[in-house]
Amino acid sequence: MDFKDVVKKRRSTRRFTGKPVEIEKLRAAMELALLAPSSKNTRSTRLMAVTNLDKVHALSRLRDFGSSLLDEAGAAIVVLGDSDASPMWEINAAIMANTLQLALVDQGLASCWVHVGKYRTLQDDPESQTSDSYVKEILPEIPQHYSVLNVVAVGYADYTPKPLPDYEGPERLLFVE
């Protein structure tokens, strides 16, 4: 797919058809995303694909807002950062997550970023379990020294999202001589 089309086609998709997601498409997108840059080439980001639907759906409860869409997703990709490897691990992971979302578009798949970071499972309860530890409970394969930046919900879109809102160049783009 043309690069411009990939960028324009990427929209956060929160409703999926339920069609199973082919593991080879996930692998192709994940392999491309690994080419994302990292500070000092520390390569502190890891990706974990989850295709077991019980686990994908359980991830929908990682927060009590903004994560329920995982209940419909056909797969999830967990974006993990090694804070021992780089103080920039979050930025490195975010760059890879975005590259991954673009690579998924190229595979004909839709996705949505579900943030984990410093969130807790219950937004009004500062004592509630952290979303990071909730994800690690569902996926004990995650090494404890990795932190979860986000979970990318993946699937086939159930609708055609509207095009991106109009270009806001005058306020957001500056050109100086």
Ligand X SMILES: Cc1cc2nc3c(=O)[nH]c(=O)nc-3n(C[C@H](O)[C@H](O)[C@H](O)COP(=O)(O)O)c2cc1C
Q: Which residues bind ligand X (CB under 6 A)?
A: 11-12, 14, 66, 69, 112-115, 164
8 A C-beta contact, residue 39 and residue 88: yes
**Between vectors from CA 15 to CA 114 and to CA 101, what angle results, nearest 5°?**
45
Which residue's CB is nearer to ligand X, number 12 or number 133?
12
Shortest reach from residue 94's CB to ligand X, in Å? 7
Which residue's CB is nearer to ligand X, number 5 or number 23?
5
Shortest reach from residue 99's CB to ligand X, in Å? 13
Shortest reach from residue 76's CB to ligand X, in Å? 13
Which residue's CB is nearer to ligand X, number 17 or number 123?
123
Which residue's CB is nearer to ligand X, number 15 or number 115?
115
Shortest reach from residue 114's CB to ligand X, in Å? 5
Both structure tokens of 157: 């879109």
Count Cβ neighbours within 10 Å for each residue of 33-63 and write b for 16 or more, e otherwise: beebebeeebbbbbbbbbbeeeebbbbbebb
